[in-house]
Amino acid sequence: MTSETKKRLIIFTITVVVALLFLAPNISKETFKNGWISKPISLGLDLVGGVHLVYEVQASEAVKSRLQSIANSIKSELRKDKIAVLRSKVSDDFKLELSLVSDRQVEALKTKISENFKDLQFVDVKMDGERPRVLYSISELNAGKIEEEAVNQAIETLRNRVDQFGVAEPLIQRAGQSRIILQMPGVQDIESVKRVVGSVAKLEFRLLSTGAGSVPTLTLKDKEGAPVVVEDEVLMNGDAVSDARVQMLSGQVEVSLGLNSEGGKLFRQITGANVGRNLSIILDGVVHSSPRINEAIGGGRASITGGFTFEEARELAVVLRAGALPAPLKSLEERTVGPTLGAESIKKGIISILAGSIFISIFMLVYYKKSGAIAIITLFLNLFFMLALLSAFGATLTLPGLAGLALTIGMAVDANVLIFERIREEIRAGYTRDVAVNAGYSNALVAIVDANITTLLSGMLLYYFGTGSIKGFAVTLSIGVMTTLFCAAYVGRLLFDLLPLKTSGKEISI
Amino acid sequence: MTMKLFPENTNFDFIGKSKYAIALSIAISIMTVYLWVSKGDSKYGIDYKGGTEIVIKLSENTESQIVREALEAGGVKDATVQSFEAGSQEYSIKVSGSEDTTKNSILAALKAKFADKVSIERTDVVGPTIGEELRAKALIAIIFGLIGIMIYVSVRFEFAFAVGALGSLIHDVFVCTGIYLLAGREINASTLAATLAIVGYSVNDTIVIFDRVREEILKTKKFEIVPLINKCINITFSRTMITGLLTLFSALALLIYGGGSISDLSFYMVVGIITGGYSTIFIASPIVIAFDRWSRSREAARGAISARS
Query: Using alpha carbons only, what angle is made at residue A288 by residues A147 and A281, rounded to the nearest 5 degrees?
Result: 65
Mean pLDDT of chain B: 87
Tell me the residue ranges of DSSP E strands in A201-299: 203-207, 217-222, 227-231, 236-237, 241-249, 252-259, 279-283, 286-289
**Does position A438 have pLDDT exceeding 60, yes or no?**
yes
Q: How confident is the model at residue B292 (pLDDT cuts 50, 70, 90)?
A: confident
Sequential DSSP letters for A279-295: EEEEETTEEEE--B--S
Burial of A274 (0-12, 13-18, 19+ CB in 10 A): middle
Mean pLDDT of chain A: 86
Burial of B290 (0-12, 13-18, 19+ CB in 10 A): middle
Q: Is residue B182 part of a domain?
A: yes
Looking at the complex, report in whole angstroms how far the Cα of residue A489 sits from the nearest Cα belonging to chain B. 16
Q: Indicate which of B8, B172, B257 best probes the interface with A, i.e. most A CBs within 10 Å of its own CB.
A: B257
Q: How confident is the model at residue A382 (pLDDT cuts 50, 70, 90)?
A: very high
- Over range A353-362, report the average pLDDT: 93
Backbone angles phi and psi of A242, in degrees to 5: -110, -15
Torsion over CA: B5, B8, B12, B18 (sign): positive
Give this complex's ipTM: 0.87
pLDDT in tens, B91-147: 999 998 767 678 888 888 888 888 888 888 999 999 888 888 889 999 999 999 999
- Rounded to a whole number of angstroms, the distance between the first and last alpha carbons of chain B is 66
- Over range A417-428, report the average pLDDT: 87
Q: How confident is the model at residue A183 (pLDDT cuts 50, 70, 90)?
A: very high
Looking at the complex, report in whole angstroms how far the Cα of residue A20 sits from the nearest Cα belonging to chain B. 26
Nearest-CA neighbor of A454 among B267, B65, B16, B196? B196
The reply to whether B119 and B139 lie within a common domain is no
* Closest residue, chain A, to B196 (C-alpha): A458
The reply to whether B202 and B135 lie within a common domain is yes
Q: Hey, how many other C-beta atoms are within 10 angstroms of the C-beta on B132?
A: 14
Lowest mean per-residue pLDDT among A89-93, A143-147, A293-297, A303-307: A303-307
- How long, in residues, is chain A? 510
**Eight-class DSSP state of B78:** S
The predicted pLDDT at position B205 comes to 83
Q: What span, in angstroms and rounded, lies between the C-alpha atoms of A5 and A3?
A: 5
Q: Is residue B151 part of a domain?
A: yes
**Does position A305 have pLDDT exceeding 80, yes or no?**
no
Chain B residues with CB inside 8 Å of A457's CB?
145, 148-149, 152, 200
**Does position A115 have pLDDT exceeding 70, yes or no?**
yes
Chain A residues with CB inside 8 Å of B202's CB?
none
Q: Is residue B5 part of a domain?
A: no
- Over range A150-166, report the average pLDDT: 86
- Over range A42-61, report the average pLDDT: 91
Nearest-CA neighbor of A227 among A286, A282, A283, A281? A286
The reply to whether B77 and B23 lie within a common domain is no
pLDDT in tens, A456-482: 999 999 999 888 788 899 999 999 999
Closest partner residue to B152 among A367, A400, A453, by Cβ? A453
Closest partner residue to B246 among A337, A351, A410, by Cβ? A410
**Does position A272 have pLDDT exceeding 70, yes or no?**
yes
The predicted pLDDT at position A133 comes to 87
Q: What span, in angstroms and rounded, lies between the C-alpha atoms of A182 and B129?
A: 18
**Does position A45 have pLDDT exceeding 80, yes or no?**
yes
Percentage, residues of chain A above pLDDT 90: 21
Q: Is A85 helix (H, G, I), strand (E, B) or coil?
A: strand
The predicted pLDDT at position A482 comes to 92
pLDDT in tens, B222-260: 778 888 888 888 888 888 888 889 999 999 999 999 988
The predicted pLDDT at position B304 comes to 65
Q: How confident is the model at residue A14 (pLDDT cuts 50, 70, 90)?
A: very high
Tell me whether residues B196 and A410 touch, CB distance under 8 A: no
Tell me whether residues B152 and A454 touch, CB distance under 8 A: yes
Query: What CATH number corresponds to the domain at position B291?
Result: 1.20.1640.10
The answer for residues whose C-beta is within 8 angstroms of residue A119's C-beta and 6 or more apart is A70, A138, A139, A142
Q: What span, in angstroms and rounded, lies between the C-alpha atoms of A325 and A310?
A: 23
pLDDT in tens, B24-82: 999 999 999 999 999 988 899 888 888 999 999 988 888 888 888 888 888 888 888 88
The β-bridge relationship of strands A203-207 and A131-138 is unpaired
Q: Indicate which of A53, A330, A398, A457 best probes the interface with B, i.e. most B CBs within 10 Å of its own CB.
A: A457
The reply to whether B90 and B18 lie within a common domain is no
Answer whether A216 touches B (CB < 8 Å): no
Q: What span, in angstroms and rounded, lies between the C-alpha atoms of A233 and A213?
A: 14
- Over range B189-197, report the average pLDDT: 91
Q: Is A258 helix (H, G, I), strand (E, B) or coil?
A: strand
Looking at the complex, report in whole angstroms how far the Cα of residue A185 sits from the nearest Cα belonging to chain B. 13
CB of A47 closer than 8 Å to CB of A400: no
Answer whether B245 touches A (CB < 8 Å): yes
The predicted pLDDT at position A217 comes to 82
The predicted pLDDT at position A41 comes to 87
What is the separation of C-alpha B196 from the centre of its chain, rounded to a whole number of angstroms?
8
The predicted pLDDT at position A3 comes to 82
The predicted pLDDT at position A40 comes to 84
Query: What CATH number corresponds to the domain at position B114?
Result: 3.30.70.3400
The reply to whether B57 and B140 lie within a common domain is no
Q: Is residue B102 part of a domain?
A: yes
| CA dist A138 → A63, A87, A106 (Å) | 9, 18, 19
Q: Which of residues 360-419 of A touch B (CB under 8 A)?
A: 360, 363-364, 366-369, 399-400, 403, 406-407, 409-411, 413-414, 417-418
Q: Is the pTM of this model over 0.90?
A: no
Q: What span, in angstroms and rounded, lies between the C-alpha atoms of A328 and A200?
A: 6
Torsion over CA: B289, B292, B295, B296 (sign): negative
The β-bridge relationship of strands A85-90 and A236-237 is unpaired
pLDDT in tens, A189-225: 888 888 888 888 888 888 998 877 777 788 898 888 8
Q: Which of residues 122-161 of A touch B (CB under 8 A)?
A: none
Q: Indicate which of B231, B262, B269 best probes the interface with A, i.e. most A CBs within 10 Å of its own CB.
A: B262
| CA dist A193 → A55, A171, B46 (Å) | 12, 14, 22
3-state secondary structure A435-460: HHHHHHHHHHHHHHHHHHHHHHHHHH
The predicted pLDDT at position A201 comes to 83
Of B97, B126, B155, the domain-final residue: B126
Q: Which of residues 142-201 of B touch A (CB under 8 A)?
A: 144-145, 148-149, 152-153, 156, 189-190, 192-193, 196-197, 199-201
* Closest residue, chain B, to A361 (C-alpha): B246
Nearest-CA neighbor of B233 among B275, B281, B278? B281
Q: Is residue B4 part of a domain?
A: no
Domains of chain A: 3-49+338-498 (1.20.1640.10), 60-142 (3.30.70), 199-335 (3.30.1360.200)
The β-bridge relationship of strands B51-58 and B118-126 is antiparallel
The reply to whether B157 and B289 lie within a common domain is yes
Looking at the complex, report in whole angstroms how far the Cα of residue A53 sits from the nearest Cα belonging to chain B. 9
Answer whether A332 touches B (CB < 8 Å): yes
The predicted pLDDT at position A360 comes to 93
Buried b (16+ CB within 10 A) or exposed e, A427-436: beeebebeeb
Considering only residues A425 and A19, tell me which one the structure prediction assigns the higher pLDDT: A19
Q: Indicate which of A337, A371, A462, A469 best probes the interface with B, i.e. most B CBs within 10 Å of its own CB.
A: A462
The reply to whether B182 and B229 lie within a common domain is yes
Q: Is residue B56 part of a domain?
A: yes
The reply to whether B181 and B219 lie within a common domain is yes
The predicted pLDDT at position A507 comes to 62
The predicted pLDDT at position A165 comes to 73
CB of B123 closer than 8 Å to CB of B103: yes
**Eight-class DSSP state of A260:** P
Q: How confident is the model at residue A31 (pLDDT cuts 50, 70, 90)?
A: confident
The answer for residues whose C-beta is within 8 angstroms of residue B114's C-beta and 6 or more apart is B58, B60, B70
**Does position B221 have pLDDT exceeding 80, yes or no?**
no
The predicted pLDDT at position A500 comes to 67
Q: What is the CA radius of gyration of chain A?
A: 34
Tell me whether residues B125 and A334 touch, CB distance under 8 A: yes
The reply to whether B234 and B172 lie within a common domain is yes
Size of interface A-B (CB pairs under 8 A): 214
Tell me whether residues A363 and B246 touch, CB distance under 8 A: yes
Provide the domain limits for residue B18: 14-42+130-308
Q: How confident is the model at residue B308 (pLDDT cuts 50, 70, 90)?
A: low
- Over range B7-30, report the average pLDDT: 86
Tell me whether residues A345 and B55 touch, CB distance under 8 A: no
Number of domains in chain B: 2
Chain B residues with CB inside 8 Å of A425's CB?
235
Q: How confident is the model at residue A103 (pLDDT cuts 50, 70, 90)?
A: confident
The reply to whether B32 and B143 lie within a common domain is yes
Q: Is residue B189 part of a domain?
A: yes
Nearest-CA neighbor of A69 among A104, A117, A114, A103? A117
The predicted pLDDT at position B33 comes to 95
The reply to whether B207 and B281 lie within a common domain is yes
Of B94, B126, B158, the domain-final residue: B126
pLDDT in tens, A317-357: 888 888 888 888 998 999 999 888 888 899 999 999 999 99
Q: Is residue B303 part of a domain?
A: yes
Of B126, B155, B180, the domain-final residue: B126
The reply to whether B56 and B72 lie within a common domain is yes
The predicted pLDDT at position A421 comes to 86
